[in-house]
Amino acid sequence: MTSDTRIRLLVGGVSLGAHVAAGWAARQGPAAPVAGLLLALPGWTGAPADAPAARSALVTAHQVRASGLDATLTALRASAPRWLATELARSWTAHGDGLADAFDEAAATPAPGAGVLRGLPVPAGVVACVDDPVHPVAVARRWAELLPRARLVETRLDAVGADPATLGRAAVLGWLHASTR
């Protein structure tokens, strides 16, 4: 009797990270060590076109170039929930001088298209925040429809703000339900 000792991976990400995770898994082929996908807040399917997340990235890149990071963060703190402004400030500050260019690149990078998503046979937990205008719930619902073994879990931004682990737990819950399909 032999046992399969291959390492199996759960691959995931948030927003652009969800795009990267799904694309990476698709490129691995049928012998991939992917046990499943944890995909939170995908921004678009295929070409970014005028997706809100892509537009937001372009606007933010422009603001960083025109006013600087500190002024952009000050404006963000005045308009966004405190938890989100704090998280984005941490992330954006750590990114360094290439932040605006990274936003431009993210806004121009296609997400996996419908055919790619349909070809991913592994269980997937897909998460949407029903009140997120940047990552519309319709995009996450579409991903969950296209992925052959996906379950969508919906939450709200205030739940994520109260407990940042909410997205991860929701993705794992969706993956667990998809694993039983």
Going along the chain, which residue ranges are E strands? 9-14, 34-40, 124-129, 150-155
pLDDT greater than 90 at residue 1: no
The pLDDT tens digits of the residues spanning 26-37 come to 998 777 789 999
The pLDDT tens digits of the residues spanning 124-151 come to 999 999 999 999 999 999 999 999 999 9
Distance CA 35, CA 62 (A): 39
Distance CA 14, CA 7 (A): 23
Residue 149: CA count within 13 A, CB half-sphere: 17
Superfamily for the 10-47+111-179 domain: Alpha/Beta hydrolase fold, catalytic domain (3.40.50.1820)
Residue 127's alpha-carbon distances to 33, 40, 72, 85, 146, in angstroms, are: 22, 4, 28, 21, 14
The pLDDT tens digits of the residues spanning 75-104 come to 999 999 999 999 999 999 998 899 999 999
Distance CA 146, CA 114 (A): 6
What's the pLDDT at 2?
53
pLDDT greater than 70 at residue 5: no
The domain spans of the chain are 10-47+111-179, 52-107
Q: What is the mean pLDDT of the chain?
A: 94
* 8 A C-beta contact, residue 102 and residue 57: no
